Amino acid sequence: MIRIFENTVGFVVCQWWGVNELLQQMLRSDLFDKVSNDLAKDDMDQYMNYDFLITLWNQEDREKLRQTIESTCSKKSGSETFKKRDLRFDFYWNSDTITKEKLDKLIGFVDLKYYVGHFTWVYIASLFSLLTSLVATIMIA
């Protein structure tokens, strides 16, 4: 159940905190870049969001994500292995813009998404059990 709240409520919180800007700096897409070149700046911000990609990663595979990005960025940017599609979409890591700080920030967003989803699940479960207890208490009295 936590994964559902991670990818809904946690996703929205990550959007508010700027995951889209971070992912647009770290990722490139041949298809999306061609489309975004034809759009005005306001339209690009509205329609060309990369933030949905944060739902691909979770707490369990964050170290694998770190290793994948580090190994991909250690290769030359012109090689074919660099443009390997690791994300199941038309995206690849842009090694020219990825720094340790950005990588740590991305891992931080994955953690934030998990913690918000976990908090939401616990909060809703607590409210449900409180309401159930109140109803049971009222019915007994």
**pLDDT tens, residue order, the chain (141 aa):** 788 999 999 999 999 998 988 998 888 887 777 777 777 777 666 667 788 888 889 888 888 988 888 888 776 555 554 555 566 677 888 888 888 999 999 999 999 999 999 999 999 999 999 999 999 999 886
Angle between helices 62-73 and 100-140 (to 10 degrees): 160
SS3 95: coil
Domain boundaries, the chain: 2-140
Burial call 64-100: b when 16+ CB within 10 Å, e when fewer: ebeeebeebbeeeeeeeebeeeeeeeebbbbbeebee
What tokens appear for 87 in the block?
């994300």
Cα 74 from Cα 84, distance rounded (Å): 13
pLDDT at 73: 78
pLDDT at 81: 46
pLDDT at 94: 84
